[in-house]
Amino acid sequence: MDRRDFLRITGASGALCAAGATLAGSALAQERTATVSADWRAFELTADISIEDPGAQARLWIPMPDSADTDYQRGAQTVWRIEGGGTASLAQAPGYGVRMLAAQWPENPDIRRITVISRFQTRNRRVDLDQPAPANFRPESAATLREYLKPTDLLPTDGIVKATADRITRGHSGDLARARAIYEWVVENTCRTASTRGCGVGDVRYMLTANDLNGKCADINALFVALARAAGIPARDAYGLRVADSQLGYRSLGKAGDVTRAQHCRAEFYAASHGWVPVDPADVRKVMLEEPPGELPINNPQVRAARVMLFGAWEMNWVAFNHGHDVALPGSGLGPVPFLMYPNGETAAGRMDSLDPDSFRYRLTARQLPA
């Protein structure tokens, strides 16, 4: 589906919602006409969000699946239904082009609720680094690569970050070898901490300065991205959500059904020979901590297999949202958020806690659609 089709579908759905039509008759319910190969899987993600906070001037920003068709994710379509006299529209933050659904309500409605349904297709992603790039390989633009070398508020590329990157990559030549050295260093020196709220924050300078390399995916993978950028290798976080159980034998690396707390940040780096290469050192540490019976040593066969697999591959029981940092929420009266991976909300009283779905009142559910 190209962008014109996407805009036609979502534009039509917005009009339907404004007119009070049901979701059943929307374009989302129609089957795609394109032939889907056997390795593609289709999913439906539903976000049901209510604002219980009594504050006036309520606004919401909900991350959307990436609409750009790739070799591992395609066909993203979204519709929504809003109650309480509110309005909603697709929006995009400046800079990284982060897509979201922005909603707002009048001063004091009795109900402030929105239901958002997205459908998309995914298939497992693997870049074979032992083989030349395929004949149809197209290099990334120089402007995009420059964007993913820049520092961000929480991912600086100077000082201790640069010094650490230089030390890790010393003696390694070529972007693949240097990126692998950073990946292995992150796997060996970090630790997943179950008590970290949400997915962590990703404050890389603090992590290195305090020698506190603990956290979750947004911390551990941000460390990889910042070190890669500091070493001159374009890299980016990929923020998204797990939507299915793992088919590769890892209980800890999947989630189906209620995925309210299944957010997961991944990472990529750019190799001139192969393009964007998927990695996920954070999930290696997750396997070590959570895979039964728990607290697995780094030389455990399951850990070794995950470590090899997650340099160059992603299991796509996960949907990608965006690559954004320092995200300015359109219409917000407050400053940028570090990234947009959870529903975010605010009222005149301030920003709501996006990591507390019980008090914030949101629930995310995912299901695989029949072939």
pLDDT tens digits in sequence order for the chain, 371 residues long: 332 332 233 333 333 333 233 333 333 333 333 333 459 999 999 999 998 877 788 899 999 999 999 999 999 999 999 999 999 999 999 878 899 999 999 877 788 999 999 999 999 999 999 999 888 889 999 999 999 999 999 999 999 999 999 999 999 999 999 999 999 999 999 999 999 999 999 999 999 999 999 999 999 999 999 999 999 999 999 999 999 999 999 999 999 999 999 999 999 999 999 999 999 999 999 999 999 999 999 999 999 999 999 999 999 999 999 999 999 999 998 999 999 999 999 988 889 999 988 877 899 999 999 97
pTM of the model: 0.89
Position 369: which residue type? L
Residue 306 tokens, joined: 């995950």
Phi, psi of 112, rounded to the nearest 5 degrees: -130, 95
Position 7: which residue type? L
* Rounded Cα–Cα distance for residues 104 and 327 (Å): 18
* Rounded Cα–Cα distance for residues 199 and 191 (Å): 13
| Pairing mode, strands 350-351 and 344-347 | antiparallel
C-alpha torsion sign, points 109, 328, 234, 222 = negative
Reference 52, options 333, 357, 340; nearest CA is 357
